[in-house]
Amino acid sequence: MLLSKLLEDITVLNSYEDREITDVTDKTGNVKDGCAFVCITGARFDGHSVAENMLKQGARAVIVTRDLGLKEQIIVENSREAYALMCKNLFGRSADKLKIIGITGTNGKTTTAFVIKDILKELGVQSGLIGTVKNMVGDKDFHTELTTPDPYDMHALFKMMVDEGIEYCVMETSSQAFHQMRLAGIHFVVGAFTNLTQDHLDYHGTLDEYKKCKKNLFLNCDKAIFNNDDEASSFMREGIVAPATDYSINKKSDYKAENVELFSDRVEYNLNGQKVVFHIPGGFSVYNSLTAISVVNNLGFDLEKVINAAFYAKSVSGRVEVLKTNTDFSVIIDYAHSPDGLEKAINAVRGFTKGRVITLFGCGGDRDKTKRPKMGRIAAELSDVVVVTSDNPRTEDPEEIIKDILEGIDAENKEIITITDRSEAIKKAISIAEKDDAILLAGKGHETYQVIGKERVHYDEREVVAKVLEGGF
């Protein structure tokens, strides 16, 4: 592809000779003959420092934000934005050929995205999905590392979707992705907001900055949908051009759930005069289903047909996932890793548990430390027994992380158990479980690994639970 075609929609600040380019990358390890290397300045590495060397390794152009005195340099205002747009152009502007649905918020993005995909499929429409658990092109699964992928991987997925004749793509849009401009050049037919609570402050610094990043979705969409029960919705709606609709349990809204009933395997409620039966338990499932139904209805599908299709939506791996244990107590896995997420998960389990709720959780290392005591307090207040353990300690001492969690716990009249080794902690939780109790394993969810130091090691809680119950652990 000609360099001038790759640079379409990008303001270039210097003159250059057009040339054929074979590929685009921002990673030094991916540089090959004929490619363009984009110099991005990150927290630990500045691509500008190796620009000249990348040319020696075969790059035919380097995209920079300052004059490096190189003949092959292309100077732009923002190399992150340029990289995203170049990836879009490289893959034939496939994003423009799709109807892309964006879901943002702290909790509920993953489940909502999968439910939207399930509803569309039930309505006879294949779609793509980009998110935390996996990426999908129709029924084909693809591994993912990030909630919102690197621009190159993302636009490659868009092209695959277009090549497969897919019309819709539903994707989770993270705050980091907006901040890093990974989503530059992508237009959304519908944007939906689930909720906003404390998360990722290690990256954004403040809740206000986190909130501002998420708002970017609604500055570039045709229709906007908001959770009217979440106070952050007023900020999200302020100043946007897109027509807005909302959903709620507690307030007057365009989509209002009434007569809500919670069961161990589903939720039921009335929506605008119609009965909704949604087979994922927990009070937050009412919100997730409301989001999904309102999104698909706003795509132009008949509301009654959408509600009927939601009946067949399936639960998502690691989201209030009830394991088959053949015991007289329950074991549930959930990804809850924020204060609000943990609160919602415990309350969901409490809603269908006759006995005690035993909550096992830890907090990730090298991440927002301020949420650790908050999660400790929530677990202690809402659970009957709390087992505090390790999660993904990364480069931190897991015992120090546990100390941070315990600072938020008033242990009076509460059974608090601390076991650093997560497998041993699970073994302990199972050993104390009695008839009708529920064990909530929070934090890992769909993850099948632990990050210890800088190494990712295999770790699947489902396997650990099975081994413990078999007596092999």
- Taking only the tens place, the pLDDT of each residue in 384-403 is 999 999 999 999 999 999 99
In a domain, 316, yes or no: no
Total tally of structural domains belonging to the chain: 3
Which pTM was predicted? 0.81
Range of the domain at 43: 3-88
231, with CB counted inside 10 A (0-12, 13-18, 19+), is exposed
Burial 268-277 (b: 16+ CB within 10 A, else e): ebebbeeebb
Q: For position 177, which CATH number holds?
A: 3.40.1190.10
DSSP helix/strand/coil, 42: coil
Q: 88, 107, 127 — which closes off a domain?
A: 88
The reported pLDDT for the residue numbered 80 is 95
Domain shared by 114 and 134, yes or no? yes
Domain shared by 271 and 338, yes or no? no
Q: 62, 88, 114 — which closes off a domain?
A: 88
Domain shared by 43 and 110, yes or no? no
Average pLDDT of the segment spanning 162-172: 97
Domain shared by 76 and 171, yes or no? no
In a domain, 266, yes or no: yes
- CB-based contact 141:147 (threshold 8 Å): no
The DSSP 8-state label assigned to residue 342 in this structure reads: H
Domain shared by 83 and 104, yes or no? no
Domain shared by 34 and 172, yes or no? no
Q: For position 426, which CATH number holds?
A: 3.90.190.20
**Which percentage of the chain shows pLDDT scores above 70?**
97
* Interval 16-74: pLDDT, tens: 999 999 999 999 999 999 999 999 998 789 999 999 999 999 999 999 999 999 999 99
Q: 254, 280, 310 — which closes off a domain?
A: 310
Domain shared by 29 and 70, yes or no? yes
Domain shared by 99 and 54, yes or no? no
Domain shared by 205 and 248, yes or no? yes
Domain shared by 145 and 286, yes or no? yes
The reported pLDDT for the residue numbered 455 is 93
Q: What is the mean pLDDT of the chain?
A: 92
Domain shared by 452 and 364, yes or no? yes
In a domain, 334, yes or no: yes
The reported pLDDT for the residue numbered 353 is 87
- For residue 201, name the pLDDT band (cuts at 50, 70, 90): low
For the ranges 27-36, 171-180, 237-246, 313-322, the lowest mean pLDDT is seen at: 313-322
SS (H, E, C) 163-184: HCCCCEEEEECCHHHHHCCCCC
Domain shared by 335 and 207, yes or no? no
